[in-house]
Structure 1
């Protein structure tokens, strides 16, 4: 752990505050006409998911925490959880589905994910930025609908709905960004 000033907190930083572990989601440096400058920080608790808005003055110091990050391979759906295997030790762990959240739909067999640990407890999971999915259902191309910005809805194999260009059809493999479920390109 390292001490940093309150005005040095950046989005993504993990800090110890009020006896718990928090990740900075948004930060906003405020310099009022009167009084000292401060950093308005939106925090998310990594243990219970609660949110907090806090002001940190530049004179205040907080403990910045370094999390352990390890590569795990996705193995299978274990009912209420998903099973993962440590890429180095081959130990298996199970992580609850609600912990993974909306990105759960993107999990694919043998996918390598990064799991963040704080004191040997998993507190975060990162999937690859992009995945390849097959389109199960989409509307056929309408004659004359060739404008570059006219996208159509498509449903992928994992149930995710994506807007795709008119030339992309059913059964095609596409590259989708996991962060916001956006179409990037056709898969090779």
Structure 2
């Protein structure tokens, strides 16, 4: 589906220069002289390259429609992750780098969304928030109330996050997977 250069939004998948690109950021600019344009930061879904491109309103670009399918994470074997299709129970093995930093939050039996382009998986989306247990939390420093004070803590999966002072080891919390931030108590 062709769209105008000014209709590009973050999260769109574009077919640009014979590659699949995911839009990360956009900035609409109207210079005093000349026409307006959209400055677009994109990441290649195949090899991970990043680029910045200017699209004018007269430019058109192909927007790709991806199929999403529900899968369940089963296990890891080195750098390979195995997922099961929840409809027909077929298993698929994918490289861990397809998830990026979110791979640390993957839990056994977790439901994930695979984005497919022409039946080929190109990305894996975890739930936005997960529940995790604090295994180690620093002690509260008294008198540190001038600003909202947070302290470092380590989750059961080894990830470090900042938590409020009242959270202690053994507490189950909700964590934002992609921002790596404390959301609330579980």
Instruction: Map 1:103-122 onto structure 2 (within 5 A).
Output: 103-122=102-121
Determine the C-alpha separation between the residues in 2 that align with 1:34 and 1:151. Answer: 47
Contact 2:6–2:38 (CA under 8 A) maintained in structure 1: yes
Report the alpha carbon displacement of residue 90 of structure 1 after superposing the two structures with TM.
1.0
Match status 1:3 vs 2:21: no
Match status 1:180 vs 2:153: no
- Distance 1:50-1:145 versus aligned 2 partners, 3 A rule: closer
Report the alpha carbon displacement of residue 24 of structure 1 after superposing the two structures with TM.
1.1
Partner of 1:101: 100
Report the alpha carbon displacement of residue 121 of structure 1 after superposing the two structures with TM.
1.6
Q: Which string of whole-angstrom CA distances, capped at 9 and with x for unpartnered residues, describes residues 89-135 of structure 1?
A: 11111111122111011001111011111112211111111111111
* Residues paired across the two proteins, number: 186
Determine the C-alpha separation between the residues in 1 that align with 2:23 and 2:164. Answer: 36
Report the alpha carbon displacement of residue 139 of structure 1 after superposing the two structures with TM.
2.1
Instruction: Map 1:70-81 onto structure 2 (within 5 A).
Output: 70-81=69-80
Determine the C-alpha separation between the residues in 2 that align with 1:52 and 1:176. Answer: 30
* Helix, strand or coil at the partner of 1:117: strand
Contact 2:28–2:36 (CA under 8 A) maintained in structure 1: yes
Partner of 1:36: 35
Task: Give the TM-score taking structure 2 as reference length.
Answer: 0.94
Report the alpha carbon displacement of residue 15 of structure 1 after superposing the two structures with TM.
1.0
Partner of 2:87: 88
* Helix, strand or coil at the partner of 1:26: strand
* Helix, strand or coil at the partner of 2:104: helix
Partner of 1:18: 17
Report the alpha carbon displacement of residue 144 of structure 1 after superposing the two structures with TM.
5.9
Q: Which sections of structure 2, spanning at least 5 residues, go unmatched?
A: none
Partner of 2:168: 169
Task: Give the TM-score taking structure 1 as reference length.
Answer: 0.93
Q: Which string of whole-angstrom CA distances, capped at 9 and with x for unpartnered residues, describes residues 9-41 of structure 1?
A: 111111111111111111111112222211111
- Distance 1:146-1:170 versus aligned 2 partners, 3 A rule: farther
